A = this chain, B = another copy of it.
Amino acid sequence: MLALFLIVAISCAYTIFLTFKILDSSPGNEKTIQLSLIIQKGARSFLLQEYSVFFPIVGAIVVFLSFFNFKAGISLLLGALFSTLAGFFGMVVATKSNARTSWAALYGMDKALRIAFQGGAVMGLTVSALGLLGIGIVLSIFKEISYVGYYSFGASFVALFARVGGGIYTKAADVGADIVGKTEANLPEDDPRNPAVIADNVGDNVGDVAGMGADLYESYIGSIFSALALASFANDLKAYRFVIFVALTGLVSSMISVLVTSASTKKFSNPGDALRFGSILSNVLLLVGILIYSLANNYLVAFVVVLMGVVVGISVGLLTEFYTSSKKIAELAKSANMGAANILINGIALGMESTAIITIMIVAAVMLSYKLLGLFGVALSAVGMLSTLGMNLSIDAYGPIADNAGGIAQMAGLDERARRITDQLDAVGNTTAAMGKGFAIVSAALTALALFSNYANVAHISAVDIRNPSLFTGALIGAMLPFLFCALAMKAVGDAADEMVEEIRRQIREIPGIISGHAQPDYERCIKIATKGALRRMVLPSLLAILVPIAGYFTIGSTGTAGILIGSTVTGVMVAIFMANSGGAWDNAKKYIEEGHFGGKGSMAHKASVVGDTVGDPLKDTAGPSINILIKLMAITSVILATLVGR
């Protein structure tokens, strides 16, 4: 435990050092500073308002829980607080890195890459360190694994709000800006004359930085919790220690990789290579560390399980890349020639098809790790996959920073050369974002399965008569949830985007000179509308995840709830893969056409591909990624419920 606190402390120190280094670099000229400030203010104000919506709910749950079990309430609160803190801090630094990245781009690729990457690394390392710190605190004080469950619940609860709220925000702004900007007023992307352009940049931060961070934070904790719980259920101290070791080694490997990658940006001509190098390095360090430990402790089988988790995580990332780039995209873009309907049908088919091979990977990982180490093996492979989260999330959070930097460079009218560099950084970010999504889904599936096993343990449902229809009907209800949830999330985006469209149209109509560039649009009003729209609409879908398992438990019983978890997990995973890959493919097909294929910008094919991209946006950035959290939050809710009621 001492090692844990020590490593966390080092990691925090390093993060603070990184932060100061970023702040030390120049934020650029008056224009870039001003733009960055508006983004910072918008993002901060959204997060603070978001907290004011969900913290009262968290507070109510904590108070309610504390009546039964004070320690549980405290643990839950800690989980929620740490998740919030990590997201907030990471987001603040990210929004401070964007203008600095675009300014650094004037001085060369390596400088810009370093700042964007370090900005992401602050998020990545903060999330891992705070996650482990919380687990350490809860275990040290309350000395019982079940409290880590409450801690994990708090993190998941916050994560769902952050994901859904951020997702609605980012896509309402993006879709709204696109509909009026690109389709009606013929403005290019990131044009400062578009009133929603800054809201769109804010959205990248609250959705892809804070939302993604909270998502992986709770996956990380959830996987560690379930592995620890299964190990302690089996009274297996060796396994228990191994989990902690893997988590710590992962954090250390991530730190070293961040350090090495930052120091060697000059050596890579291509930013993608640098990030890939960092990612490989962190996994190699992790595996070497674990191999030595497992050899020393005569526990080689556990190494194999971790290795498998890492391999599956990487493979799914590569598969996601395969489905959203290269040959597949050229084919999809070609179908845009026949019109919007065609590219839509083919894109849906592509996303649905991609579920097959990814499912087979998940199934193989589960079956093999189960064979080697039982249920604990399944949980351990998820821990292995997620242990280098510090590095993975650094790369994920790099994406929106690069995206923002490109926007700022464009809006501030920086030199052509800087814009070329930020464009290049941004392109890499798109690929890493797609890979990160595949990774998030697979780790969610494994974590959900491990949590499900914990649920079955605490609810004492080992032998079930599967002919009893409660399992089946539960599974039906569970399978329905991802669909209902997505419907709510998509409708939320649609409605919020409509409000945004009206506002943009109003500004263009009422503020003369916007389109000619002589008057500045009212960016802040658009930010406010996105904020209000997202906050109002995020509550209902988020509450589903908690209320349905509770309602199920008390109506169709513990077996029925098991069915709900099975149904929601298996269907949720498919819907999430489908949405992520269809959306990613449409996005890239549009970019492919914009590179000049099939007539390039302005062609019929391009118009069709813009429709595909716009449809894909809420799928891949709002509804799809939120499902990951939905299924885990449902599982952890059920675990806690069974623990509470079973007593």
Contacts and interface: CB of A to CB of B under 8 A. Distances in A.
A352 interface: yes
A140 interface: no
A234 to B, nearest CB: 12
A327 interface: no
B467 A355 contact: no
A450 to B, nearest CB: 10
Contacts of A618: 345
B352 A487 contact: yes
A507 interface: no
B566 A345 contact: no
Interface stretch (A49-57, A237-245, A455-463): A455-463
B352 A476 contact: no
Nearest to A346: B494
Contacts of A306: none
Given A179-B339, A573-B479, A473 B349 contact: no
Given A344-B611, A449-B472, A566-B566, A480 B359 contact: yes
Interface stretch (A27-35, A60-68, A246-254, A363-371): A363-371
A449 B494 CA distance: 36
B346 A344 contact: no
A122 interface: no
A232 to B, nearest CB: 16
Given A367-B473, A469-B366, A477-B363, A483 B355 contact: yes
B465 A345 contact: no
A473 B340 contact: no
Q: Which 3 A-B pairs have the closest CB atoms?
A: A341-B614, A353-B487, A479-B570
16 contacts: A345-B493, A345-B615, A349-B488, A350-B487, A352-B486, A353-B484, A353-B487, A355-B484, A356-B480, A359-B479, A362-B473, A378-B469, A449-B469, A452-B467, A461-B466, A472-B569
Interface of A: 175, 179, 183, 335, 338-342, 344-346, 348-353, 355-356, 359-360, 362-363, 366-367, 370, 375, 378, 445, 449, 452-453, 456-457, 461-467, 469-473, 475-480, 483-484, 486-488, 490-491, 493-494, 497-498, 501, 556, 562, 566-567, 569-571, 573-574, 578, 610-611, 614-615, 618-619
Given A366-B469, A366-B472, A566-B567, 13 more contacts: A179-B341, A183-B339, A339-B611, A340-B611, A346-B491, A355-B483, A356-B487, A366-B473, A367-B470, A370-B469, A449-B469, A452-B467, A472-B569
